[in-house]
Amino acid sequence: MLKTWARSFPGQAQQVAHARHFVAALLEDEDSRLIEDAVLVVSELAANAVRHTRSGRCHGWFLVIVGFGEDLVRIEVIDQGGHQEPRVRSANSPVEESGRGLMLVSACAKDWGVRDRPAGRRCIWADLVRVGV
């Protein structure tokens, strides 16, 4: 990655919108499809951090990192860890509101994954292809 930008956010549900705006502002000169995909990816990963990890508890936080490579943009969300490993799963019913986040990330990204970090933290990343660079 050539350039990297990062910002931490309090682990509150309303901060997910701020994370989306942060990413959209960094990508304002990119292809509109890339911006839409990046905003969706960070929205899902940040929401999962707040909902399913210690990041969503009192005084919790999550970190968003955006890295620019020659042909990729990497979105990373570092959370404070949780009991379960993030994984793609399907919702139990068409009206269920959760269970599709990582499936959406997988559909938008060239590749994605999970890395354990020190102190029980976890990084979920997704690589998005830059168009016309």
How many structural domains compose the chain? 1
Assign residue 42 the CATH number of its domain: 3.30.565.10
- Looking at per-residue pLDDT, the higher value among 83 and 72 belongs to 72
> At residue 101, does pLDDT exceed 80?
no
Non-local CB neighbours of 77 within 8 Å, separated by 6+ positions: 19, 42, 45, 46, 48, 49, 62, 63, 64, 65, 123, 124, 125
Residue 48: count other Cβ atoms within 10 Å of its Cβ: 23
Instruction: Place 96 in a pLDDT band, splitting at 50, 70 and 90.
Output: very low
Parent domain of 83 = 3-129
pLDDT over 70 percentage in the chain? 86
Whole-number mean pLDDT of the chain? 89
Q: Which residues contact 16 (CB under 8 A, 6 or more apart)?
A: 43, 46, 47, 50
